[in-house]
Amino acid sequence: MRETGRRADGRARRGGEGGWGGTDGYVPLQAEVVDIDVESTNTYLLSLRPIDDEDETVEVDYSPGQFLMVSVFGLGECPISIASSPTREPLQICVREAGRITQGMMAARVGDVLGIRGPFGNGFPVADMKDRNVAIAGGGSGFATLRSLINYIADHRDDYREVTVVYGARTPQDLYFTSEYGSWQAADIEVGITVDMMDASWKGNVGLVTSLLSEIDPAPGAAALCGPPMMIRAVAKDLLDRGFIEQEIYISLERHMKCGVGKCEHCTMGPYHVCTDGPIFSYDRVRDLI
C-alpha cells in the first residue's frame, strides 16, 4: 500500500486558468465545513476550507460555472456547482436535498470534512462577455451556479455593460440568496424575481421567468442560463426574439456524472461529455440535444 495523502502538486494549488490543472486522479482533497447557511427548506449553503493532510488551507483556483465532485465518504460522490465567486472567500457549494449523497452533505456539521475533486468543466466565458450587456436567467436550484457569475461580475462591474438578473422559484420559500439581491442592485445590476406560487407574505412578481423578461426587456448581448430544460428552451427562444444570438447564449447543463473527467460516459450528450466539454455550452451547440 502506498500512502498518498496529498500529492505535492495538489498541496500548492488546485485548478487554474481555464479549468483543469492540478486535478490528479480519483483521490479527493478534504474540505472542512466551516459554515452552514440555510437557503431554503431543503437547501443549505456550505462554506468549505480545502485542507491538506496537515490541516493547512489549500487554495483552490476556479472560475464561475465550474463544479466540484463532492463526496461523503461511505455514501459516494456527485457533481455540485460552485456557488461562490473566485473573487470572494470562502469556497461555497449550494446543496439541495435530492438523494442519499446530498442528504449526507446536509447532515455535515461545522468541523466535519467532505471530499472534493476538481474544479471541473469549462465555466462561463467571462472574458468573452467583457464589454457586453449580460442577461442572467435562472430557475430553481440552477441559480446556485449563476450566483457565482453574478458576484464575479459585481466584483468586476466596470468590465461589463448593462447587467440584468431574472430568477424564478416555485415559492417565496424556495428563493436562494435573498440577502444578496440588495448588494447586486447597489452594484448597478437590475434584479427581477418571480415565483410560481405566492403566499400571504409575497408582494413581488408571480409567473414565469419569460414574462419577467418582457417586463425588464434586457438589451441584447451575452446571456447565461441555468434551470429546468423547459425554462431554458422558453428563455432562449425569448432572448433570440429580442436580438440575442445563439452563440452568445450560454447554458449550464446538468447530467448524471460519476468521474468528472470525461471517462465514465454517464454524462454523454450526443458527441459531448458534459463534464469536460461543458457544463457551459453556447445554445447553437446544444439546441437539438436539450
At its nearest, how many Å lie between other proteins and the CB of residue 37?
Answer: 22
Under rule CB under 8 A, residue 254 binds other proteins: yes
Q: Is the dihedral of CA 46, 48, 53, 55 positive or negative?
A: negative
CA gap 148, 133 in Å, rounded: 17
- Provide the mask over 163-202, with x wherever binding to other proteins is found by CB under 8 A and - wherever it is not: ----------------------------------------
Under rule CB under 8 A, residue 248 binds other proteins: no
Q: Which of 65, 89, 90, 216 is nearest to 146 (CA)?
A: 65
At its nearest, how many Å lie between other proteins and the CB of residue 262?
Answer: 6
Looking up cell 442519499 gives 100
Bridge partners of 82, per DSSP, are 93
- E strand or H helix at 136: strand 134-139
CA gap 141, 232 in Å, rounded: 13
Q: Are strands 134-139 and 113-120 parallel, antiparallel or unpaired?
A: unpaired
If the CB atoms of residues 72 and 189 are measured against other proteins, the closer one turns out to be: 72
From the list 82-90, 111-119, 160-168, 173-181, the region that binds other proteins by CB under 8 A is 111-119
What is the total count of residues that contact other proteins (CB under 8 A)? Answer: 47
CA gap 117, 171 in Å, rounded: 33
Under rule CB under 8 A, residue 131 binds other proteins: no
Under rule CB under 8 A, residue 233 binds other proteins: no
Given 16, 115, 125, 220, the residue binding other proteins (CB under 8 A): 115
Under rule CB under 8 A, residue 77 binds other proteins: yes
Question: Would you call 143 helix, strand, or coil by DSSP?
Answer: helix
Binding footprint of other proteins on the chain (CB under 8 A) = 1-5, 20, 23-28, 30, 53, 55, 71, 73-78, 98-99, 102, 111-113, 115, 229, 254-256, 258-259, 261-271, 276
